Chain A
Amino acid sequence: NAGVTQTPKFRILKIGQSMTLQCTQDMNHNYMYWYRQDPGMGLKLIYYSVGAGITDKGEVPNGYNVSRSTTEDFPLRLELAAPSQTSVYFCASSQGTLGYTFGSGTRLTVV
């Protein structure tokens, strides 16, 4: 049981490039989330999904897109990367009212 798996662990992007951060969970959780965490700061919700085919914006969605075609996968797409998107990205999942299980994160630098 791997929990929540994120790839890649590290990435350096040039301004204007695009990439997809992968997230998959094997716990059959309905809810999935993407957060970003800037250095020394808290977690800000980018997008979330309550089930396959359903996604919704969090507090900082601009510059990102998501899709949820299966229960297991919740990729995050960055279009036209900007330095302001330099951050650590965490994917998480939960079932019902239970606590979140987080992946180990993707450390992204945009130069």
Chain B
Amino acid sequence: GQQVMQIPQYQHVQEGEDFTTYCNSSTTLSNIQWYKQRPGGHPVFLIQLVKSGEVKKQKRLTFQFEKKKKNSSLHITATQTTDVGTYFCAGNLGGYQKVTFGTGTKLQVIP
């Protein structure tokens, strides 16, 4: 079946440092979504990328979908304590809107 892996599994950064999580799919994706889950909370949709090579920004967050549409990344510039949580990518093979969630990257920001 479709596998979506994320690295790293955990990341501790000092506040103000940058952070990147990578999402790798075993198969080509029609689109990819990113979610953030705060500790004890539920996943919250951040963004969706559809086009090959697409780059989108949300304030300090930059999302990329590489040209072969198998890999994606989320980069946070100058992390803040509010960025703490687990970041999940979710890949869609197409057809029905049914995605496969990645394994997640847990971000801890040290003040």
Interface residues of A (CB under 8 A from B): 31, 33, 35, 40-45, 48, 50, 58-59, 90, 92, 94, 96-105
User: Does A96 lie within 8 Å of B97, measured CB to CB?
Assistant: yes
A81 to B104, CA, bound (A): 28
User: Does B97 lie within 8 Å of A94, measured CB to CB?
Assistant: yes
In the complex, chain B residues whose CB is within 8 Å of the CB of A98: 48
Of the stretches B11-19, B38-46, B73-81, the one at the interface is B38-46
Does residue B1 face the partner (Cβ distance < 8 Å to A)?
yes
In the complex, chain B residues whose CB is within 8 Å of the CB of A42: 88, 101-104
- Cβ contacts A to B, 26 pairs, < 8 Å: A31-B96, A31-B97, A31-B98, A33-B98, A35-B101, A41-B103, A41-B104, A42-B101, A42-B102, A42-B104, A43-B43, A43-B88, A43-B101, A45-B100, A48-B96, A48-B98, A58-B98, A92-B43, A94-B97, A97-B92, A98-B48, A99-B45, A100-B35, A102-B43, A103-B42, A104-B41
A40 to B10, CA, bound (A): 11
A40 to B44, CA, bound (A): 17
* Top 4 A-B residue pairs of the complex, sorted by shortest distance between their CB atoms: A99-B45, A43-B101, A102-B42, A42-B103
A19 to B48, CA, bound (A): 35
Size of the chain B interface, CB-CB below 8 angstroms: 26
User: Does A100 lie within 8 Å of B88, measured CB to CB?
Assistant: no
